[in-house]
Chains A and B, each alone.
Chain A
């Protein structure tokens, strides 16, 4: 009840199985896009965190359709495919979900700048956490600059991802 009184709208019922799978499918697609070789010099290291964008979007709009188990499995899959120590992405995405879910009512039905500001703060935290985690795993102080560039690129790509996810959501699920 607390959420309703705070103005969180009731999520629309979705019967179409394709639409119900949309959050999981798009997050999985974001994972695959993240590891695509773009043949652009320097891009691999700075690849935006597309999966984080999808998790952020769906946790705000349809957390019911992107359950923690799906996030965990997608995260582990991404780690295994990317050659990253398994569990790292899963951990980061689950923590992101936990944080966003707590603040969800601040973002639902708000203007895009609010959403973007929230994502900026989340990305900053996530990238710092990732950097610390990798420094601990590898036992060396990793150059922080690439992490900063990656964060900036992730934040600047978010409007496009948000627009595309929002459009797909509206098309398949109706208003949302």
Chain B
């Protein structure tokens, strides 16, 4: 009724299904990841190794027909390893810039919290500015440009946790978690999903994604919805359980993600439902608990939603 079900014909749904065949039992997470991409945001996946973070990133890149590169972050990774270096070309008698792995459309930054803050900030600067400045020269990154960073949970040994300000640059943060029983069994029987991802064919052409992104940005957000958005943001600021509430940038992120979620649902308007759906992914990594210092959990956000009347 609300969403006219022309849905099955949209390539985006075929895309979601195809990704679902690779990353088993994670429909909601795939959807969130795609929403993040459509909202022109960057994605942070926080989980233990081996639950399919890389596979998801890989599958999305393949399906969207985007150039993909992967950077494994280690403690000795240098900024230039990400952005690229200039080498002296003897033939032309000049320096030649060798672009680093960041010059791709989808960049998978694996285990980002294993690298030093200096290296982390090189990546995050590129994410924010969508350009790289190396050796005095500014070079634009490709468009679309989408970073999927993964990080190990903070309690794992040998990590440099991302500071607050850096975390804020990720539009959404996901936890994949263990697959459920049935999905895991299917995984065991089917064999390597990473190879499956390699075999995926693009379902979108490269120039289609910007069009979809601008469609998403044009989704209607009524004054009543903005009221709800404000109420939610204010609720996080009022809540004594967190050190700080959500920033205005976080509010914008919530709205952008809500738009993408609504668009994925085939609607031309954002509903409170959309904000509720994306709020945990938007808010958890941005809210730090007043006691203990850990991040907010999805259950906390669900409780917070229950305290905010829908205007």
- A and B bind: no
